């Protein structure tokens, strides 16, 4: 039993909100177990706020002695199993706030009216069917919370509560606006959310003191103009309703600071919203808005404009993503120059080599059947523009079908394009193998990289097949596509089921990451590839003049053209095809294109600068590949964009993929890559399917003997190695190889190897390694460093990423580039790397197992060093997880292989789910394969919590973060809480979900706190307690960004400079 002094130690000053005011009270939070209160409690006369909690949910026994706490102002009896309010409560003369929520069917007796100071009564979730009549006799009641009493009836004489300022009736299943409420003229806050109300009465305008009005999820389809009379309104929540428009009277609500219109069906937003000069947060997510009024962006108090999930064309989504400042700059520029409507669509031609892609592209472009010659094979990617009519321009991406280009292709696969997959009907045969090569593989790639994209299948070279053959083959393709789609769905559902089971069985405190992964996987269900039409068969072989004369039929590719035009005009497929841009931006883009095509000519015709020095000539020939910022400014001036107006258009073009910019890579930050395919073409010189051709160019032949060239080729093919000076020689003249290699390293295509000459740095031969060229197996000699059997005095810590189903080609190679800066003394082979990290050996391997792929990374050391071993391998896993974010459709899970199984050499070692170590974990974990007889140290199974928190997409971090994290972890995250709670306020629930809290957790936080800020703070504190060291500012910032709380993110960054470094 607690003594008085130990109880007194638990007293703390806590801030409470009573009736809109914040006061600090001497507070005690007490767990009552089993039912009895400690006797010493009644001696705590100074107590002002008492909050009781019970774990058993049995009725708490509140004896008369409670009345001795004469100073008690707040009493919380949330979920205490009460059937009636105990008599002692009625004897607390000073009581101002009484929380009785979640006490089912509680009765309130007449004596309660003795509580003449009671101003706040909380009866949420009490299953009340009528308002207890005695409540009307509480003369000073100002706040009445009746939320979630689903049957409640409100009496007509509710008006007797003539001091009532706050009435909460959310979730009460009300089917109309309760008339009695209209008589509560002094009301300042009314919550009717989550009811079946549908219409608002005219009389609402009489509630002229209303400041907060919550009407979300009430089925409203119109907002009566009378709402405009509520001129004191500061907070209006109309989200999740059926509203398509708003009355112009909304503009009269000039006190409104927070307006939530998300998840309505809004098609337009009235200009009058621009009159809400005090508006700070405007929520418009998930509506049907195509345009925003410029007036809205001009609102000077506006800190957050949330528009995700709208088919916006003015401003386009790429602008909105960048935040309110970019939106303002856009409208500003739009006002300064004229509006241009642009219709662009990216069409990507994919498919095996020789499928007929380039021939079809050319045919469509010139409008006449055309065949390519053998030497026309496409290297990497060619981009052309095709404008079939005045209304639209297609950006056509024609990819080289050879395997070697596959890695670079992926960078051009973006979600908003139309994909045409060409299947060569001549070489297709109705077999699983051919289907996989010609169709399945490409669809898997799209499904992994751009889930939800629009795809059309085209059968090519129809002229080379008989009619029945065409039918047989297209039917086969179609039915196998259906099977593949079913397979994807099955995999997704299996994964969801696995995660749901895991969520149920996972111990408390470990579920948040699984919940996030589950939410993510569920989202993928909504984002499946959209196929348009059946397989369309074409031939682009020109007909002989005689046959053309005899046949009146139009060529088959014309049908494809018609289909393309039909599809692009289908708003459900491409809702944001047309977009409104400032004329200056459009002109700037056109000038950039001219530079792309003919930089020298552009320069010659440019009258502004005619010095024409050789240095300049060189720089203009480089301008084919990239522009310096200075050159961009010059082009900007030609488009009437001063240097300070340039950044918004560059950011926009970067967002839409027209240009590449790397403002955070030192070697690249001063350049603009205005023609991305040209950049990739540079790689082509180093990345060719024909390695012989690489070493046969005139420049290489001039510089190296035949023998030397043979050695160089051998180096590349056997070891993936290429010397820097050789590489320089392979690139076009004057190209700075450092820029190309910085780009290649950024794309994950190569890494740098320094020579061993430690004395003379200048003599170091710099090599680059291109893992793509590696084809050999693990070298035998490595067996001495890493024997098959784990040495007796050592343990193996092995982390595993299990990729279900399709694994992107080249993933392991890119991973091996990504980890380069973390390891030393590496040896690479086809599907593995052996290296050292912090003097520990590490082995990374990729292995296909039936339909899945396992990527394992392991180290060995003594058991006592388990924690160090985690520090060695875990950062490698983080690099892989980060990389996987490029393929949102890939399903993967993370594991720790049972160290006992490894050491015992068991065939199918057990894979533990990756999770953090907690204080409750025992010392050993049983090996599930050898039930109950063998075990392994918990230190080899559970991740030390200092490493946690980086596991699934919402929390993915950049590689740079890996290095900088330990410092961030050490600082106290709580220092940011105050700012966050002050600014997140009402969105605390979203934040809680984002941080992995479940619905019941959130309800608890809701119940036990008095206002948003406290709930937000409580959420953050609990999150920190749960997650320990994993509760980092990076995770928190990611969560805020995910919720688009950009004003909070920006505010934190400016308040704490260096936070985002």
Residues binding ligand GTP (CB under 6 A): 353-359, 371-372, 374, 376-378, 400-401, 460-461, 463-464, 539-541
Residues contacting residue 180 through CB under 8 Å, at least 6 positions apart:
154, 155, 156, 157, 158, 159
Q: In terms of CB distance, is 357 or 1014 closer to Mg ion?
A: 357
> Which option in Mg ion, ligand GTP, none does residue 253 bind, with CB closer than 5 to 8 A by kind?
none
> Which option in Mg ion, ligand GTP, none does residue 460 bind, with CB closer than 5 to 8 A by kind?
ligand GTP
Length of the chain: 1061
Q: In terms of CB distance, is 422 or 881 closer to ligand GTP?
A: 422
Task: Please state the separation of Cα 118 from the chain's center in Å.
Answer: 47
Q: Which residue has the tokens 């005139």?
A: 698
Quote the CA–CA distance of 397 and 58 in Å, as a whole number. Answer: 69
Q: Which of 976-1011 are b and which e, b meaning 16 or more Cβ less than 10 Å from the residue's Cβ? A: bbeebbebbbbbbbbbbbbbbbeeebbbbbbbbbbb
Report in angstroms how near the CB of residue 1049 gets to ligand GTP at its nearest.
44
> Which option in ligand GTP, Mg ion, none does residue 354 bind, with CB closer than 5 to 8 A by kind?
ligand GTP
Quote the CA–CA distance of 558 and 538 in Å, as a whole number. Answer: 9
Q: Are strands 120-122 and 97-99 parallel, antiparallel or unpaired?
A: parallel
Report in angstroms how near the CB of residue 378 gets to Mg ion at its nearest.
3
**CA terminus-to-terminus distance, the chain:** 51
Q: Are strands 751-753 and 767-769 parallel, antiparallel or unpaired?
A: antiparallel
Quote the CA–CA distance of 889 and 806 in Å, as a whole number. Answer: 9
Report in angstroms how near the CB of residue 795 gets to Mg ion at its nearest.
53
Q: In terms of CB distance, is 287 or 556 closer to ligand GTP?
A: 556
Q: What is the DSSP letter of 356?
A: S
Report in angstroms how near the CB of residue 357 gets to Mg ion at its nearest.
5
Task: Please state the separation of Cα 300 from the chain's center in Å.
Answer: 29
DSSP, collapsed to helix, strand or coil, labels residue 189 as strand
Report in angstroms how near the CB of residue 772 gets to ligand GTP at its nearest.
18
Q: Which residue has the tokens 């689903």?
A: 150
> Which option in Mg ion, ligand GTP, none does residue 541 bind, with CB closer than 5 to 8 A by kind?
ligand GTP
Report in angstroms how near the CB of residue 379 gets to Mg ion at its nearest.
9
CB atoms within 10 A of CB 859: 26
Report in angstroms how near the CB of residue 350 gets to ligand GTP at its nearest.
9
Of 227, 228, 221, 305, the residue nearest 264 (C-alpha) = 221
Quote the CA–CA distance of 176 and 162 in Å, as a whole number. Answer: 22
> Which option in ligand GTP, Mg ion, none does residue 374 bind, with CB closer than 5 to 8 A by kind?
ligand GTP
> Which option in ligand GTP, Mg ion, none does residue 539 bind, with CB closer than 5 to 8 A by kind?
ligand GTP
> Which option in Mg ion, ligand GTP, none does residue 875 bind, with CB closer than 5 to 8 A by kind?
none
Q: In terms of CB distance, is 246 or 361 closer to ligand GTP?
A: 361
> Which option in Mg ion, ligand GTP, none does residue 464 bind, with CB closer than 5 to 8 A by kind?
ligand GTP
Report in angstroms how near the CB of residue 400 gets to ligand GTP at its nearest.
5
> Which option in Mg ion, ligand GTP, none does residue 91 bind, with CB closer than 5 to 8 A by kind?
none
Report in angstroms how near the CB of residue 358 gets to Mg ion at its nearest.
3
Report in angstroms how near the CB of residue 693 gets to Mg ion at its nearest.
17
Q: In terms of CB distance, is 378 or 651 closer to Mg ion?
A: 378
Q: In terms of CB distance, is 559 or 960 closer to ligand GTP?
A: 559
> Which option in Mg ion, ligand GTP, none does residue 278 bind, with CB closer than 5 to 8 A by kind?
none
**640 torsion bin: left (phi>0), alpha (psi -120 to 50), beta (else):** left
Q: In terms of CB distance, is 346 or 820 closer to ligand GTP?
A: 346
Q: In terms of CB distance, is 541 or 1041 closer to ligand GTP?
A: 541
Report in angstroms how near the CB of residue 999 gets to Mg ion at its nearest.
53
Q: In terms of CB distance, is 186 or 426 closer to Mg ion?
A: 426
Number of separate helices (H) and strands (E) present in the chain: 33, 37
> Which option in Mg ion, ligand GTP, none does residue 359 bind, with CB closer than 5 to 8 A by kind?
ligand GTP
Quote the CA–CA distance of 252 and 228 in Å, as a whole number. Answer: 5
Q: In terms of CB distance, is 103 or 358 closer to ligand GTP?
A: 358
Report in angstroms how near the CB of residue 334 gets to ligand GTP at its nearest.
40
Report in angstroms how near the CB of residue 369 gets to Mg ion at its nearest.
16
> Which option in ligand GTP, Mg ion, none does residue 730 bind, with CB closer than 5 to 8 A by kind?
none
Q: What is the DSSP letter of 307?
A: -
What percent of the chain is helix, strand and coil (3-state, nearest 5)? Answer: 40, 20, 40
Q: Which residue has the tokens 């082995």?
A: 843
Quote the CA–CA distance of 184 and 165 in Å, as a whole number. Answer: 8
> Which option in Mg ion, ligand GTP, none does residue 949 bind, with CB closer than 5 to 8 A by kind?
none
> Which option in ligand GTP, Mg ion, none does residue 1059 bind, with CB closer than 5 to 8 A by kind?
none
Two structure tokens written together for 304: 């957050």
Is 238 in contact with 215 (CB distance < 8 Å)? yes
Quote the CA–CA distance of 803 and 815 in Å, as a whole number. Answer: 14
> Which option in ligand GTP, Mg ion, none does residue 461 bind, with CB closer than 5 to 8 A by kind?
ligand GTP
Burial, 761: exposed, middle or buried (Cβ in 10 Å; 0-12, 13-18, 19+)? exposed
Q: In terms of CB distance, is 337 or 539 closer to ligand GTP?
A: 539
Q: In terms of CB distance, is 361 or 649 closer to ligand GTP?
A: 361
Report in angstroms how near the CB of residue 351 gets to ligand GTP at its nearest.
6
Residues contacting residue 550 through CB under 8 Å, at least 6 positions apart:
none
Q: In terms of CB distance, is 132 or 351 closer to ligand GTP?
A: 351
Q: In terms of CB distance, is 464 or 782 closer to ligand GTP?
A: 464
Phi, psi of 649 (to 5 degrees): -70, -35
DSSP, collapsed to helix, strand or coil, labels residue 600 as helix
Quote the CA–CA distance of 741 and 352 in Å, as a whole number. Answer: 28
Q: In terms of CB distance, is 316 or 351 closer to ligand GTP?
A: 351
What are the C-alpha distances in Å from 677 to residues 58, 417, 801?
Answer: 70, 16, 32
- Bridge partners (DSSP) of residue 153 are 130
User: Among the residues of 827-916, which ranges form H helices?
Assistant: 866-884, 899-904
Report in angstroms how near the CB of residue 416 gets to ligand GTP at its nearest.
24
Residues contacting residue 539 through CB under 8 Å, at least 6 positions apart:
369, 460, 461, 462, 463, 464, 555, 556, 557
Q: In terms of CB distance, is 424 or 796 closer to ligand GTP?
A: 424
Report in angstroms how near the CB of residue 684 gets to ligand GTP at its nearest.
13
Q: In terms of CB distance, is 328 or 461 closer to Mg ion?
A: 461
> Which option in ligand GTP, Mg ion, none does residue 243 bind, with CB closer than 5 to 8 A by kind?
none
Quote the CA–CA distance of 336 and 338 in Å, as a whole number. Answer: 7
- Given the rule CB under 5 A, which residues bind Mg ion? 357-358, 378
Residue nearest to ligand GTP (CB): 401
Burial, 716: exposed, middle or buried (Cβ in 10 Å; 0-12, 13-18, 19+)? buried
CB atoms within 10 A of CB 610: 9
> Which option in Mg ion, ligand GTP, none does residue 324 bind, with CB closer than 5 to 8 A by kind?
none
Report in angstroms how near the CB of residue 362 gets to ligand GTP at its nearest.
8
């Amino acid at each position: 039993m607690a003594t008085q002094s130990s109880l007194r130690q638990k007293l703390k000053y806590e801030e409470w909100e009573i009736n809109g005011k914040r006061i600090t009270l001497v507070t005690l939070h007490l767990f009552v177990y089993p039912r009895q209160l400690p006797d010493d409690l009644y001696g705590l006369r100074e107590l002002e706020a008492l909050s009781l909690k019970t774990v058993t949910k049995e009725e708490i026994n509140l004896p008369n002695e409670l009345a001795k706490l004469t100073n008690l102002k707040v009493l919380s009896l949330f979920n205490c199993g009460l059937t009636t309010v105990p008599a002692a409560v009625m004897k607390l003369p000073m009581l101002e706030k009484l929380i009785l929520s979640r006490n089912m069917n509680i009765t309130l007796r007449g004596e309660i009216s003795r509580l003449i100071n009671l101003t706040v009564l909380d009866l949420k979730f009490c299953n009340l069917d009528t308002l207890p009549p005695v409540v009307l006799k509480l003369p000073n009641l100002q706040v009445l919370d009746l939320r979630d009493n689903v049957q409640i009836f409100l009496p007509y004489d509710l008006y007797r509560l003539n001091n009532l300022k706050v009435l909460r009736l959310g979730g009460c299943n009300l089917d109309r606006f309760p008339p009695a409420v209209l008589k509560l003229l002094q009301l300042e806050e009314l919550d009717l959310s989550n009811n079946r109300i549908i219409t608002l009465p005219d009389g609402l305008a009489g509630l002229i003191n209303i400041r907060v009005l919550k009407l979300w999820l009430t089925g409203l389809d119109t907002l009566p103009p009378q709402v405009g009379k509520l001129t004191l309104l500061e907070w209006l929540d109309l989200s999740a309703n059926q509203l398509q428009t708003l009355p112009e009277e909304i503009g009269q609500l000039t006190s409104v600071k927070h307006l939530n219109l998300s998840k309505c069906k809004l098609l337009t937003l009235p200009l009058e919203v621009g009159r809400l000069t005090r508006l700070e947060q405007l929520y418009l997510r998930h509506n049907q808005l195509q345009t925003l009024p410029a007036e809205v962006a001009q609102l000077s108090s506006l800190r957050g404009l949330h528009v995700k999930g709208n088919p916006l064309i003015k401003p386009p989504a790429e602008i909105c993503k960048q935040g309110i400042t970019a939106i303002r700059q856009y409208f500003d520029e739009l006002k300064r120059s004229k509006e241009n409507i642009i219709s662009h669509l990216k069409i990507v031609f994919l498919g095996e080599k020789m499928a007929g892609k380039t021939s079809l592209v050319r045919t469509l472009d010139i409008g006449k059947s055309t065949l390519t010659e053998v030497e026309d094979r496409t290297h990497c990617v060619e981009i052309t523009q095709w404008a079939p009519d005045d209304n639209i321009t297609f950006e056509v991406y024609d990819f080289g079908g050879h395997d070697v280009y596959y890695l670079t292709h992926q960078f051009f696969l973006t979600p908003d394009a139309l994909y045409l997959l060409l299947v060569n009907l001549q070489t297709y045969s109705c077999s699983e193998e051919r289907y996989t090569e010609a169709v399945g593989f490409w669809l898997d790639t799209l499904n992994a990289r751009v889930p939800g994209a629009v795809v059309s299948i085209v059968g090519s070279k129809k002229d080379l097949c008989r009619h029945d053959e065409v039918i047989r083959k297209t039917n086969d393709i179609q039915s196998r596509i259906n099977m593949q789609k079913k397979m994807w769905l099955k995999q997704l559902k299996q994964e969801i089921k696995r995660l749901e089971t895991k969520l149920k069985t996972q111990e408390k405190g470990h579920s948040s990451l699984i919940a996030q992964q589950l939410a993510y996987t569920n989202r993928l269900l909504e984002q499946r590839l959209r196929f348009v039409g059946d397989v369309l068969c074409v031939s682009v072989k020109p007909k002989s003049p005689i046959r053309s004369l005899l046949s009146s039929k139009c060529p088959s590719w014309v049908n494809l053209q018609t289909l393309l035009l039909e599809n692009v005009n289908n708003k459900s497929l491409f809702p944001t095809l047309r977009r409104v841009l400032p004329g200056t931006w459009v002109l700037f883009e056109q000038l950039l294109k001219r530079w792309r095509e003919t930089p020298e000519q552009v320069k010659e015709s440019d009258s502004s600068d005619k010095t024409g020095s050789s240095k300049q000539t060189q720089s203009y020939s480089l301008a084919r590949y990239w522009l310096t910022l200075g050159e961009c400014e010059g082009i900007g001036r030609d488009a009437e964009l001063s240097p300070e107006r340039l950044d918004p258009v560059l950011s926009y073009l970067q967002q839409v993929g027209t240009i590449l910019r790397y403002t955070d890579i030192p070697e690249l930050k001063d350049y603009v890559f205005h023609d991305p395919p040209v950049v990739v073409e540079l790689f082509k010189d180093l990345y060719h399917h024909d390695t012989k051709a690489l070493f046969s160019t005139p420049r290489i032949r001039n510089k190296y003997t035949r023998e030397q060239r043979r050695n160089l080729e051998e180096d590349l093919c056997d070891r993936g190695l290429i010397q820097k000076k050789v590489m320089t020689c392979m690139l076009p003249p004057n190209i700075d190889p450092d820029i190309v290699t910085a780009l290649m390293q950024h794309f994950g295509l190569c890494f740098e190897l320094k020579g061993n000459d430690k004395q003379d740095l200048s003599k170091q031969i710099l090599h680059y390694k291109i893992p793509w060229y590696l084809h050999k197996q693990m070298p035998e000699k490595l067996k001495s460093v890493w024997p098959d059997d784990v040495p007796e005095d050592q343990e193996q810590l092995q982390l595993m990423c299990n990729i279900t189903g399709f694994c992107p080609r080249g993933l392991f190679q890119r991973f091996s580039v990504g980890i380069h800066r973390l390891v030393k003394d590496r040896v690479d082979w086809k599907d593995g790397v052996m290296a050292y990290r912090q003097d520990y050996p590490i082995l990374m391997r990729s292995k296909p197992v039936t339909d899945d792929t396992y990527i394992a990374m392991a180290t060995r050391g003594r058991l006592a060093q388990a924690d160090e071993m985690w520090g060695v391998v875990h950062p490698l896993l983080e690099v892989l997880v980060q990389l996987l974010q490029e393929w949102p459709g890939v399903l993967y899970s993370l594991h720790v292989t049972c160290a006992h199984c490894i050491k015992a050499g068991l065939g199918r070692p057990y894979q533990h789910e990756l999770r953090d170590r907690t204080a409750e974990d025992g010392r050993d974990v049983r090996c599930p394969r050898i039930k109950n007889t063998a075990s392994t140290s918990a230190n080899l199974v559970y991740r030390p919590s200092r490493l946690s928190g980086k596991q699934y997409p919402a929390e993915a971090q950049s590689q740079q973060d890996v290095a900088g994290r330990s410092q961030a972890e050490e600082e106290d995250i709580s220092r940011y809480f105050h700012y966050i709670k002050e600014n997140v306020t009402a969105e605390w629930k979203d934040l809680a979900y984002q941080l992995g809290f479940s619905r019941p957790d959130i309800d608890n936080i809701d119940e036990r706190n008095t206002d948003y800020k406290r709930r937000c703070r409580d959420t953050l504190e609990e999150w920190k307690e749960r997650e320990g060291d994993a509760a980092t500012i990076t995770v928190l910032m990611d969560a805020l960004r995910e919720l688009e709380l950009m004003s909070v993110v920006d505010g934190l960054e400016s308040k704490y400079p260096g936070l985002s470094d």
